[in-house]
Structure 1
């Protein structure tokens, strides 16, 4: 009897502790267009850039209160799947499908310069990432069995495809998802990590290629996004989080999330996974994360071991300010959302 009382007591404590977790809320700040937004770059608490279908690029310089939208001249029928902004005036955007384009603006989006073009059949750029204001990387689907990678060392003003002998070889049916621009992430000061999906799903870190335990075997399955816990500190992240699933079965949470504490050598599944297919995941702190997908937004307060559904609004991508604390989300129908935390949640601050 005494043991049962002890057990009930600890269960009560656990439930009370869980119920007291201050979960954030999702606020919709703009929506209502026919544009599907997937590119997102949050420079700071005031400057946010987004990109998407119909050659659309949007920018806010007041924390999302007002937006300036442009359809890039000559690219009105293209889909800008990822964007990286350096400040309120300079940004780089990629256009999917052949021919593949990378564009750059230095005047706040009024004009855009083509800084890279590739007419190769099958070209499909998926994502780009930058280590700093000069060095960046773009990744694309395999061409002739080898993963496309291009590098820049001048802030995206010029790009060079790396030689074939240095490109990782892709397996049959293996590709990348341009769902959120986050299948590649900065790992440390000079390394990047990227994840594949499809028939086979793997993680790539320089010359290391490791299998992922996420659901795979179909063209619609696999990893969509990878996040590094201490990437912003550039000390060499060992803790990684990967999300994905099957976008043809968006409500399924089967094998959709795994995390590693040893740089991808071994993986653990959460006790409570995100609630469905997820196309993006980001670290907010050492223990807190946000993940989003077609069926909603999830929040974890314990390093990704438990995920709580905080909104049923579907989004493609989420991102937090590189210099600040704001967190935004983008999705279909021109939708932009913002994460709002309880002002008394001192743990997050």
Structure 2
């Protein structure tokens, strides 16, 4: 029986690997750069980016509405979390850092957080459900900024963050340097002078080194994802050396305590990674998009077209990507 199960798993992985995928362009948004992407279901998609811009589609990307948050023409909304076609939270990154909430589909926005502390820089946001969420920001006075909400983003509180090393930071590349892992647990990752994985269990922080590209401001882990409590994938590299593969992808099977390199890594720097199911993982960056059918052990090209962000529908199966020059696309299985 054991051999039969092993054969079935291997056969399934090979069958998935044999599938070919393509990236289909949907629209060129009036946004110079998109890094915020939230996919509620197969129909409802929200994006956010530069010039204070937010976009929304309720028909799977066929048609879009575009909004500019009043008073935010110069804001860079690096992350967005949407809960429906009406409700979404957007995060503006730096000096001042701002968070806005809409309950009417983007027609109006309420500022729910403002911080003009010198050095403030927010990097990413994640929600467990419609109520509980967290935000990671770069260190101020040697401590990573952590914000939390228990009311769907209506109010935000400062939480105790872990200590950062000199020159260590989080990256605001795709909003995925922070992930909720349970009711009380979440994790963050870092880069710069050091690449590390920080996991909070509701009481204390557990810190583990990641053998990723590090030692310079352009290097580190830019995104990570978990398929369950133990198995995860982290991607990054060096955005100044786009085709460098060393240290651009790491895998864990013990919840982030230890990490190892894959047999075949992605083709260069990658800024976003997302599980599509138990075996398939997608990653993307400015120079291309790659797929793994075996949980991240081996990677194969999907397209030379790259993006900043990729997200799977929270309630659905479709996968969307967004990036520079307002590009928004969907991942499809090629016939």
TM-score range, shorter chain: over 0.9
Q: Secondary structure at the match of 2:310?
A: strand
The corresponding residue for 1:99 is 96
The corresponding residue for 1:36 is 33
Q: Secondary structure at the match of 2:18?
A: coil
For residues 247 and 144 of structure 1, do their structure 2 counterparts lie closer, same or farther at Cα, with a shift above 3 Å needed?
same
Alignment of 1:247-286 (within 5 A): 247-286=239-278
1:225 pairs with one of 213, 223, 233: 223
For residues 74 and 300 of structure 1, do their structure 2 counterparts lie closer, same or farther at Cα, with a shift above 3 Å needed?
same
The corresponding residue for 2:213 is 215
Q: Residue 196 in 1 paired to residue 190 in 2?
A: yes
The corresponding residue for 2:69 is 72
Q: Distance in 2 between matches of 1:19 and 1:122?
A: 46
For residues 251 and 148 of structure 1, do their structure 2 counterparts lie closer, same or farther at Cα, with a shift above 3 Å needed?
same
Q: Secondary structure at the match of 1:305?
A: coil
Q: Distance in 2 between matches of 1:324 and 1:270?
A: 28
Which deviates further from its counterpart, 128-137 or 184-193? 184-193
Q: TM-score, normalised by structure 2?
A: 0.93
Q: Secondary structure at the match of 1:65?
A: coil
Q: Secondary structure at the match of 1:340?
A: strand
Residue 189 of structure 1 deviates from its aligned partner by 3.1
Do the aligned residues in 1 keep the contact of 2:208 with 2:258 (CA within 8 Å)? no
Q: Distance in 1 between matches of 2:61 and 2:275?
A: 21
2:108 pairs with one of 107, 111, 116: 111
Q: Distance in 1 between matches of 2:283 and 2:238?
A: 15
Q: Which runs of 4+ in 1 moved over 6 A?
A: none
Structure 1 unaligned blocks of 5 or more: 1-13, 231-236, 344-349
CA deviations 1:96-115 (Å, max 9, x no partner) are 11110010000001110000
Q: Distance in 2 between matches of 1:209 and 1:19?
A: 35
1:126 pairs with one of 123, 126, 148: 123
CA deviations 1:112-161 (Å, max 9, x no partner) are 00000011000001111111111111110000000001111110001111
Residue 266 of structure 1 deviates from its aligned partner by 1.8
Alignment of 1:1-349 (within 5 A): 21-31=18-28, 33-162=30-159, 166-206=160-200, 207-230=205-228, 237-342=229-334
Q: Provide the aligned length of Structure 1 versus Structure 2.
A: 320
Q: Distance in 2 between matches of 1:179 and 1:23?
A: 27
